[in-house]
Each structure stands twice: as C-alpha cells, then as structure tokens.
Chains A and B, each alone.
Chain A
Amino acid sequence: MVNTGGEPTPHSEAASADAMIKVRGLTKAIGPQEILRGIDLDVRRGETLAIIGRSGGGKSVFLKHIIGLMQPEAGDIWVDGQNIIGLNERQLAAIRQKVGILFQGAALFDSMTVAENIAFPLREAGERDPTILREKIREMLEVVELEGQEDKMPVSLSGGMKKRVGLARSIIRRPSCVLYDEPTSGLDPVVSDSINRLIRRLQQRFGMTSIVVTHDMKSAFQVGNHIAYLHEGRIYFHGTPAELERVSDPILQDFLLGRSGSESAL
C-alpha cells in the first residue's frame, strides 16, 4: 500500500476497535479470474469511505461481500463486531438490517409503486398501520427530495429518481451503515451533484457509516472522509482526500488525471 504518512493507518489498533466494518485478507475469484487478492480495510463508525478504482476492478464485488450477497474464497469480514463469513442467508438477515445498500441500477421492484418500494422493508418487518407507513414514506421522500412521487411506477422514473427511491428504501429502517454502488454512474453532472449532496446530508443527519464505490473522482472527493484506491484486487491507497491529492505515485496519478498510463500504452 502507498504510504500516506498522515493519519494513523486504518489497520492500527485504535482504528480496528472503532471499526463498523473490518475486512481482512479477502480474496475472491470468479471463474479463472482473481478479482480480489487479499483486501484489508477498516471503515470507522460514522465516516464515509469512497472506494475508487478502474471499471471492472472488483469494487462492486467487494461491496457485495460486505452485505453477504457474495461469499469469498478466503478472508474475514466483521460488521459491527460480528464475523459474517460462513453465515447462511437466514443468519445474515440480522446483519442486513444494520446495513443498507443502494444498487448501481437501484434494483427497484418493478411491480410496485414508489411508495410500495419505500415501505417494503417496514412491511416485511411487520408494520401494517397505514398511517405510520404513509408518514414514513412521506418523510423518506422528503429526505431524498421526491415529494409527491408516491404513486409512480419505477418504469416512469429517471435514472436519478430511481437511485433516490432506492436510497429511500435502503435507509427507511435507519441502518447503521449504507453501501452505495456507483451512485452517480449514468447521471448528468447536476443530478450527480445532487446525489453527492444527499449522501453527505444523510451522513450528517443520521450519522450513518457509508461506503461509496465509484470511479467518479469528483464524487469521491465530494463525499469521502477517506478514500481507498482498489488496484489489481488490493487496497493500493487509503487516506484522506487531501493525502490523495499530495500523492505522487504514478499509478494513482494516472487514475486521478484520467491517463491511460504506461500499463495500457500501445
């Protein structure tokens, strides 16, 4: 890993003790391709960590491991102090109530309206009172700035609106941690900026720990308290945005400046 020389490294004892999410030696192969090659990472409570890296570099795969949607070949993941490796789907349910996820394509249930999508986690948790459900839906729509869209179907929403609804659905039960998979991909700069502001606002309002996977550098700098760079299946850099700006490492520089670099030079 690139030495940032600044704050304590994320693997220090203090960081580990306060970690909402702790990952050690995570490896994953899909077919013959090794996607993750031993990831070590800590995410402290209440912080927003932006994970950047090239497309197809395993960022989304890593994110899905944190919520147990994928199982690794080796390694351990602790969420709020509990090791989730080896847990079955039913055992993972308790962990998944603490961690929300916004999927890249929002993954809204296309047979349900916006309101039904947002209320889904509460209904599944046994809430049946229509007054409480209506109030919660209204509150969530206000948080994601989509008031009055309750009755729309997902198919009639724009990409940005879908992501907002997906976000509202994932935070309605107030999880301790939210994972964002490419929250600004496919969105225009103005909508991207509004999503970034929304992520920051959620962190400030609810104190949620957030992991934002993105290859949008502007987004990473805008939302991240810390930034980790995933390169060739490993965390190549982990530090603050200010530290990342100061780094002179050629691989990081190529990524930050959007140069194809020597690796892929013809």
Chain B
Amino acid sequence: MVELPRPASWTLRLVAAAYVFFLVGWPVIALAQRTFADGLAGIDAAMSDPDVTHALLVTAEISLWAVAINTVFGVGMALLLVRHEFPGRRLLSALVDLPMSVSPVVIGLALLLVYNGRTGWFGPTLESHGLVVIFNSPGMIMATCFVALPLVVREVVPVLEEIGDDQEQAARSLGASALQTLRRITLPAVKWAVVYGVVLSLARSLGEFGALKIVSGNLTGQTQTAPLVVEQKYTNFAQNEAYAVSFLLVLVSVLFILVVSLLRPKESTTS
C-alpha cells in the first residue's frame, strides 16, 4: 500500500477535517448556540405555539404513511428486479433511481398537474368520488413517497443479489409455498437492509420541503409541515421559534445517522 510521507498525510488530514468542520460541523454547532442563546425560551415558545405542534404532528403522520408504503413497495420492487425476468426490467431499474435527481419543485409540479381538482388529468374524477388529493394528505403522502422512493429498493437489491436464491430453492423443493418461502427465508435475510432503508426514508421524509410546499398548499394549522413552519417562522421574524424547530429536526436527523451507523456492522454477521 502506498504510504504517504508524514507531512503530506498530516496536510491531507488537516484539510479534510477543516473543510468538513467549516462546512458542516461549526454551522451545526452555531445553530445549537443560536437555539439556546436565551436558554430554553426558544424551545418553550415553539412548543407552546399550536401551529408548531400541529406541524410536527402532520410531519410525523405523513412520514409514517409514506415510509410504510415505500417499505412495502421497495421490498416488492427489489424482489421483482432481482428474482424475476420480465421485459423492461433494466429500464425499470434505471427509472427507480430517477426521483433522486429530480428537483422537489418539479415533483410537486408533476403531481399538481395530474391530481389537482380543477384541471388535473385525474383530479376532477377523483374529487367527484370524494378523494381530494392536492392540498390534502393523500397528495402530501404521494409527494413524500416520490422523493424517498429509491431508498428502500437501493438497500435491499444488493443484499438479495449477494445471498443468492439457494435457500429459497431449497425451501421450495421441500414443499414450502411461495408465501412461506418469502416469510421464513427471504424476509429474514433482508431484514437489516430493510431497516436501513426505513431509517433513511424516514429521515428523507421528515425533511421534505419543496415538493410539499407545492402539494400541501402550506395552510397554517392544517397542511403545514415542520420544515414549512421553519420557513414561515423565520420569514415572519419569529426566528427563535424557527431555530428551535430546526434544532429539533437536526437532533432527529443526527439520531437517524447514529442508528444507521450502529446497525450497519451487524450486516456482515447476518448475511
């Protein structure tokens, strides 16, 4: 292995650490300092504001729905992509990644064009059957599903490829039904991959901003989510509340990263 001379390796180490510290580390610390500048006053103000607590609840509800749907869809999609042969499989596997590089604003616009109640392709029909999608929770759940779509699939696909299907075939040949094989062999094998996928999707879902801003209508106390309330509080000069809610969201996202990094090494022992 190439060993760099000491000064060079020290320089690289310093440059890397300094770059990350100035770009991420210090700003995060500065946010915490700003939040607790007046002690707990900011947190208290935010937590006693019904708009904020409602927004936190909306975010939790929408995210849980979206993550549940994405988990089922993600595992199903991964199984189809890895274990089955059908025309268009490669195209589908490339398209699944598309949401990662589409702007959230474009995602919001796309859903708006199809599902809005007046001029949308499907919106008026759905509304005449009593299902309001846009400016309502179904649309918000869809937008969140869209942005977090590839995360579970991407985690499960490589694990499925790695374990192969020997055990599944053995189970089948011993007379297990397809459902039994899935429940007793396949799902336990991909368990950890699914868990990472869920944690990552949850982090992504809680933080979605652009797509939800368009699809939710941003109605305070109704469809406003936590990230949207941060923007509103900040621009309406309730900056201490904006910092408090942001601090909470940062705390949650750091927690998610810790969970993923603690879980990750177990993968090698289970698979």
User: Does A associate with B in a complex?
Assistant: no
